Homo-oligomer: A and B are copies of this chain.
Amino acid sequence: MVGWVVVNQPIRVTVWGENFHETSERDRDAMAKRYPDGMHGAIAAGLEKELGDAVEVRTATRDQPEHGLTDEVLNTTDVLTWWGHARHDEIDDAIVDKVHQRVLGGMGILILHSAHFSKIFKKLMGTSCSLSWRSDDDAELVWTVSPDHPIAEGVPSPIVIDQQEMYGEYFDIPQPDELIFISSFSGGEVFRSGCTWKRGKGKVFYFSPGDQDFPVYHHPDIQRVLANGVRWAAPVQSSSLAAPAVRNMVARQFTGAKINPEADKSGEV
C-alpha cells in the first residue's frame, strides 16, 4: 500500500547452525529425512523463497573454522540468524564477543528456539534465559499481539503448528521492547514466543517455534515470520555498523552558562 526507499543492495544474511543433531550418530538418520540440508539449510531456503533478490543468504556452522564466523563473514553480514541446542558451551568466547560487538554496531540478529540458551543471547539479555519445557508432541498456537507489526505481516493469528516441543513461562528475559507473539500449547501453557529488543544500534528478534524433532522450519507461516524478521532487523541504510564507544567531549555545547540562584524552583509536579 505504501512506498519505501528503493535500494539496490540486498540484505546480506548469514544463517548460522549448530549442525550437531544433523551429524550426531543418534540423530543423523532422522535429521536426514526431516532436514536433508540441515536445519540451517532449511532456514536459508525459506528466506530465499520468501525474499528472493532482496537477500543474499549464506550459511555458517559450528564445525567450520572460527565456527564459520570469520571477520570477513561478520563484516559483510547485515543480519545473522542463530540456531543452537546441544553444543552452546563449545562456542568460542572470542567469536561470541565479535558477534556481540557487531550487534551493538547495528547488525540484526534472530535468535531461534533453543538458542535461548546460547552464549550470545544470554550476553545480550543479561538474564538466565531459562524457561519451562516438555517434549511431548504438543500442538502450538502462535497468536499475534502486535497486529500490523512488520514481523507479523501476512501470517494468520493463530499460526497453527500441529507438533512442537512445548516452551512455557516463566521465560527469564528482560521485558521485551515489543511483544509480537504469544503461544499457547495443548497442555495449557503459554509462552512469549516472539519478542524484540534493541541492543546498542542492533535489533534482536527472538522467535521460539522451530525444533530439531519437528519439521517446523518447513511450515510456510514460520518461514514468513523469519523472512519478516530479517527485513525488520536489517540496519538502516546509512549505518556505520560501528559499536558505540566512550567519548571525551572537550568542547561544551553552551558557554557562559552559570547556575542562576533566582531560577524557578517551582518546577516540581
- Chain A positions near chain B (C-beta within 8 angstroms): 1-12, 53-55, 78, 104, 106, 117, 123-128, 130-134, 136, 138-139, 141, 143-150, 153-154, 156-158, 160, 162, 166, 168-172, 174-175, 177-179, 182-184, 186-190, 192, 197-202, 231, 234-239, 241, 243-260, 262-269
Number of copies of chain A assembled together: 4
Q: Which residues of B contact A157 (CB under 8 A)?
A: 169-170, 267-269
Question: Closest residue to A6 on the B side, CB-wise?
Answer: B6
| Cross-chain contact A139 with B236 (CB below 8 angstroms) | no
26 example contacts (A-B, Cβ-Cβ < 8 A) are as follows A1-B235, A1-B241, A2-B236, A4-B5, A4-B7, A4-B231, A4-B234, A132-B248, A134-B248, A138-B252, A144-B269, A145-B192, A147-B268, A153-B237, A154-B238, A157-B267, A158-B188, A160-B259, A172-B200, A174-B197, A175-B179, A182-B182, A253-B259, A254-B260, A255-B259, A257-B257
Could you tell me the distance between the alpha carbons of A97 and B132 in the complex, rounded to whole angstroms? Answer: 23
CA distance A227 to B128 in the complex (A): 29
Q: Are B253 and A188 in contact (CB under 8 A)?
A: yes
Q: Are A254 and B147 in contact (CB under 8 A)?
A: no
| Whole-angstrom CA separation of A236 from B170 in the bound complex | 18
A136 contacts B252, C-beta separation under 8 Å: yes
The chain B residue sitting closest to A239, CB to CB, is B148
A30 to B248, CA, bound (A): 24
* Interchain CA distance A254-B183 in the complex, whole Å: 13
Q: Is the CB of A190 within 8 A of B184?
A: yes
Interface residue from B3, B149, B235 paired with A55 (Cβ < 8 Å): B3
Cβ of B189 and Cβ of A249 under 8 Å apart?
A: yes
Minimum CB–CB distance from A197 to chain B (whole Å) comes to 7
Given A6-B6, A134-B248, A199-B127, A186 contacting B188 (CB threshold 8 A): yes
Question: By the criterion CB–CB under 8 Å, are B130 and A244 in contact?
Answer: yes
Q: Is B183's CB under 8 angstroms from A190's CB? A: yes
Contact partners of A174 in chain B: CB under 8 A: 174, 197-199
How far does the Cβ of A85 sit from chain B's closest Cβ, in whole Å? Answer: 13
CB–CB A134/B250 < 8 A: yes
The 4 tightest CB contacts between A and B, nearest first, are A188-B253, A187-B252, A188-B254, A186-B257
Q: Which of B175, B239, B262 contacts A1 (CB 8 A)?
A: B239
